[in-house]
Structure 1
Amino acid sequence: MTTSSQHEDAQSSPHELQRKLSNRHLQLIAIGGAIGTGLFMGSGKTISLAGPSILIIYMIIGGMFFFLMRALGEILLSNLHYKSFIDMAHDLIGPGAGYYIGWSYWLGWILVGIADLAAIINYLGFWLPPDMTFTPMGQALISAGCVLFVLGINLLTVKLFGEIEFWFALIKILAIIGLIFIGGFMVFTHYQAPGGSIASFSNVWSHGGMFPKGGEGFLAGFQIALFAFVGVELIGTMAAETKDPEKNLPKAVNAIPTRIILFYVLALFIVMSVTPWTEIPADQSPFVSLFLHAGIPVSAIIMNLVVLSSVLSSMNSGVFSTSRMLFGLAKEGQAPTKLAELSARAVPAKGLVFSCAFIMSGAALQYFVPNTIEAFTLASSLCVILFISIWSLIMVCYLRYRKLNPELHTKSTFKMPGGIWMSYIVLAFLLFTLVILSLEPDTLKALIISPLWLVILAVTYHILYKPRMKKLNKKL
């Protein structure tokens, strides 16, 4: 089947997702996915753990993700019938892999949503009175309101989602570029903060060097830094709703290194130049604390609004992607068939409601873990473990694709640099990050309980999915 006819089939069927996301939507959503809650909220704690070596951490992770995304891009463009990771894993590895990657991606984004709720409450503490943000009931009400707001956005149309996410992402980009320029101006004018410190590039290395916490601190910084990259693979869930994917997907993937250097490395380099890393609070966004430290409260308020919009953007993307995963799972018979139904607006409405109901359970989590930073760390740690396994499976899919379809690789106009040997390097890196999680007590807890998810999936796969497939095969 030709590419154009594939597109026409997708457009004409009322039971399929529609290609409504344009190039500008995809580019900005891809950038927005690369600028997540982990960068805005988590980088404060990462800086406290690793010091200036956080810059090296982000460059290493960014480099690995570029190759991972190139591998994903090559596979998706080799077969435009692949709607997402599920189709890809199901076809290249087997139905068990599709089941695992689909439900794990769904749970991963549910955990991102719960972590985002903790972040929203933390940021709202900047404005709201303590009896609203520091009581379990107040936190639960804020959480419920945010989930309902995001659900409302996603229930309308795919194009509206793309439009809102476009503006969310644009706000983040302009804010970070603005911060880089303002911070750079402070450095070049040797701005002196009310606390006495003078803005200078030397602040980055003059407080204990680039590795002030040693090798242990450097390794500890990887966990939350990895959480900042959750969402960079988001364009892989939008393959079925992207116009002209052969042209637009490569553009979005190839821009990843530039984004990492600009939005992570340069932004945090400027932050640590203006505010010595030793004075950046672990429980606060360093982007907000930069302006507070510099004695510019109005700018801090604006940045706090930006950070808040960033978290809502992250939750918005998460709800979007989980509903598409459920749609794909249901199409394969691996989830309730009702979740494969589309609304009149070509939106998987039942999947959206299903996902939001689980994210709403994050409101209940606020009762049991009222410390928002503790709740954020627990949810983000579990999330990172799931995403490490998903990213690893994407690389395994690439290796299987190279083995099973060498002719498609030969014809590909978007080949992954380094090919097979680079795939093994990325897999080794992901295994290395999993080992790192065992070094910190809070992430070790998440690592210990994570096998429970494997047990749940194994049981549901054999009890629910396999019998359903046997019945379908008998009918055929």
Structure 2
Amino acid sequence: MKTKTTTNQDGTMRALSNRHVQMIAIGGTIGTGLFLGSGSTISKTGPSVMLVYLVLGLFFFFMMRAIGEMFYSDPSQHTFVSFISRYLGPTIGHFTGWTYWIGLLFVCMAELTATATYVKFWFPNIPSWIVELIFLGVLACVNLIAARLFGEAEFWFAMIKIVAIVALIITGIFMMFSHSATPLGHASITNIFHNYTLFPHGTFNFISAFPMVFFAFQGIEFVSITIGEAKSPHSVIKKAVNETLLRILLFYIGALIVIMGIIPWTSISPSSSPFVQVFKLAGFPAAAALINFVVLTSAASSLNSCIFSAGRHFYQLATEVPEDNWMYKTFAKISKSGVPAPAIILSAALVLITPIMSLTNEITSVFTIVTGISSDMYIIVYTLAMLAHRKYRMSNDFLDDGFKMPAYKITSPLTIAFFVVIFISLFFIPEDIIGAVGAIAWTLIFGAVTYLHQRKVLSNEQL
């Protein structure tokens, strides 16, 4: 029996079912950070990497509970940034909205570049710009047609990731219980704890793994952006958010246990996918091609989600300006299919800059720096979301019988403090210093511009 699709007051449609949102939540939690980047973090910290994932997973769960609590009180919103505007003021909200949207565009560009790289594994002679145009065009159309089609695409993208991880875990369990012989010894759970030390390569390498894993979890908040178009928002919010930590434990920790059980962690290559290494040891010669397909769909999934999110965020920005403003008239519109089409088209059009960047190495270098800065800005955005939640708790909107953040008086300040510590740690990691300084510069300069603009708007309104 089909659930009737309802239409919001702004014209968007609640077309996303529970299965769509659940898979989007999984897709947002699991990315190339696990499939490709986990080899690097394992080589830095050894088995202690599981502690890093567990600690970060716990704090991201608290953040999602804070965001989820606000959405539960008002599920009509399309983005968590709207709560920052409501509870921290229009100036901070405006700054956060533009910062998050610009950050999303750079994530889109990075993922689009990644798709071309992965396709070249099979077709090395195809120019990157052709691959990028095809992927961007197809996924932009998916987002423009209907929210339900976006949800369906994400459902299958996430399913591919899940199948790959489950296959790894089942293969690993079989090899460990049967003590399968490999060129590196025998697969066994004892490989994880053999000569175990908490900081095998020193305290610095252990601490520097936290920002790496933090960025692997980046995008976990995408699920909250689907709430405004979910069919049963209150039940969906609870289920999607509460299962976040469980998914992290099952997919991340489960995969890491299997990887280090089959391959002694001292033998794991930091420069190649540990998934490929495990499947090759299991006697699967096509492992590299299989994982390349998985990471290609993972990059396409991230690009799809970024286009969806960027469109909603720019639509939100357009609705926050006066109705006689050109931006409101142009981009605060919903198409007949129930999506913010003009905002999606603009966001996708700006991502078209990506093919141009492949022309010179200088542009690529600048892009790498800017992407690092935008990634670091996410820590600031997440912290502002937590501060907005604290203001929500003191407002008249607070629902005492709502979907409350557990142990709020303890977990809220701890989460904020943790995000601050993560940001400070960037200044002690050579490759992250430029991004961290850039993030502060962006905050000070763009924040000041936003403040002056908002003062001018208020002055004009008073006149």
TM-score by length of 1: 0.88
TM-superposed deviation, 1:182: 0.8
Deviates more, 1:210-219 or 1:113-122: 113-122
Partner SS, residue 121 of structure 2: coil
| Range with bigger deviation, 91-100 or 44-53 | 44-53
Using the alignment, how far apart are the partners of 2:160 and 2:97 within structure 1? 31
Q: Contact conserved, 1:115 with 1:375, CA < 8 A, in 2? A: no
Q: Deviations over 1:179-229 (max 9, x none)?
A: 100111122222233x44332223333366453222111111112211111
Query: Superposed, which structure 2 residues align to 1:242-253 within 5 Å?
Result: 242-253=230-241
Instruction: Kindly state the Cα deviation for residue 282 of structure 1 after the two structures are TM-superposed.
Output: 2.7
Counterpart of 2:308, as a letter, is: F
The yes-or-no answer on 1:340 pairing with 2:332 is yes
Which runs of structure 2 are paired with 1:61-460 in the superposition (5 Å)? 61-129=56-124, 131-132=125-126, 138-193=127-182, 195-206=183-194, 209-333=197-321, 336-337=327-328, 338-369=330-361, 378=369, 381-405=372-396, 408-412=398-402, 414-455=403-444, 457-458=446-447, 460=449
Q: Please give the alpha-carbon distance, in whole angstroms, between the structure 1 residues aligned to 2:276 and 2:313.
A: 34
Cα pair 2:357 2:363 within 8 Å, conserved:
no
Q: Mark the CA change 1:427 to 1:200 in structure 2 (over 3 Å): closer, same or farther.
A: same
Read off the aligned partner of 1:441 and give its amino acid letter.
P
Q: Give, in whole Å, the separation in 2 of the partners of 1:94 and 1:342.
A: 26
Counterpart amino acid of residue 339 in structure 1: F
Structure 1 pair 424/124, CA: closer, same or farther in 2 (3 Å)? same
RMSD: 2.8
**Distance in 2 of aligned mates of 1:175 and 1:270:** 13
Residues 223-280 of structure 1, C-alpha deviation per residue, up to 9 Å, x if partnerless? 2211111121112212211112111110111101110101111112211222233333
Instruction: Give the C-alpha shift of residue 321 in structure 1.
Output: 0.5
| 1:125, distance to aligned residue in structure 2 (A) | 4.5
Once the two structures are overlaid, the 10-residue window that deviates more, 210-219 or 36-45, is 36-45
Change (3 A) 1:366 1:291: farther
Letter in 2 for 1:93: L
Deviates more, 1:430-439 or 1:47-56: 47-56
When residues 144 and 292 of structure 1 are mapped into structure 2, their CA distance, relative to the original with a 3 A threshold, is farther
Whether contact under 8 Å (1:226, 1:384) holds in the other structure is: no
Output the amino acid matched with 1:225.
V
Q: In 1, are the aligned partners of 2:91 and 2:454 still within 8 Å (CA)?
A: no
1:4 is aligned to: none
- Rate the CA distance shift 1:240–1:471 in 2: closer, same or farther, 3 A: farther
- Residue 149 of structure 1 and its aligned partner are, at CA, apart by 2.5
Tell me whether 427-436 or 169-178 shows the greater mean CA deviation: 169-178
Residue pair 2:139, 2:304 contacting (<8 A) in 1 also = yes
Match of 1:135 in 2: none
Report Cα offsets for 1:57-111 as digits up to 9, x if no partner.
Answer: 1100000111111111111112234332232111111001211221222122222
Rounded Cα–Cα distance in structure 1 between residues aligned with 2:362 and 2:14:
42
| Partner Cα separation in structure 1 for residue 18 and residue 175 of structure 2 | 36
- Which of these residues, 7, 11, 14, is aligned with residue 11 of structure 1? 7
Query: 2: CA distance between counterparts of 1:161 and 1:359?
Result: 18
Shift in alpha-carbon separation, 1:466–1:329, aligned structure 2, 3 A: farther
Counterpart-to-counterpart distance in 1, 2:245 and 2:113: 29
Q: Is the 8 A contact 2:168 2:279 kept in 1?
A: no
The more displaced of 31-40 and 53-62 is 31-40
Deviations 1:347-391 (A, max 9, x none): 22222222223333333344445999x899756633431211111
Larger displacement relative to structure 2 (139-148 or 304-313): 139-148
Contact 1:223 1:384 in 2 (8 A): no
Tell whether the 8 Å contact from 2:175 to 2:262 is kept in structure 1 after alignment: yes
TM-score w.r.t. the length of structure 2 is 0.90
Residues of 1 paired with 2:363 and 2:296: CA distance?
18
Q: How far apart are the structure 2 equivalents of 1:12 and 1:69?
A: 24
Sequence identity, in percent? 35
The whole-number CA distance in structure 2 between the counterparts of 1:342 and 1:349 is 6
Instruction: Tell me the distance in 1 between the aligned counterparts of 2:123 and 2:278.
Output: 21
Match of 1:43 among 38, 49, 60: 38
Distance 1:48 1:368 in 2: 33
Q: Secondary structure at the match of 1:408?
A: coil
Write the distance in 2 (CA, Å) between the matches of 1:207 and 1:116: 39
Paired residue type of 1:11: T
Q: Whole-Å Cα distance in 2 between the matches of residues 377 and 440 of structure 1?
A: 16
How far off its partner does 1:428 sit?
0.6
Q: Counterparts of 2:188 and 2:19 in 1: how far apart (Å)?
A: 37
Query: Are the aligned partners of 1:37 and 1:116 in contact in 2 as well (CA < 8 Å)?
Result: no
Correspondence 1:55 to 2:44 = no
Report the more deviating stretch, 375-384 or 344-353: 375-384
- Residue 300 of structure 1: how far off its partner (Å): 3.8
Cα 1:38–1:465 shift into 2, 3 Å: farther
Compared with structure 1, are the counterparts of its residues 346 and 251 closer, same or farther at alpha carbon in structure 2 (3 Å cutoff)? same
**Counterparts of 2:412 and 2:356 in 1: how far apart (Å)?**
40
Structure 1 stretch 81-90 or stretch 29-38: which is displaced more?
A: 81-90
Counting matched residue pairs gives 456
5+ residue gaps, structure 1, are 1-6, 133-137
Structure 2 CA distance for aligned equivalents of residues 118 and 287 of structure 1: 22
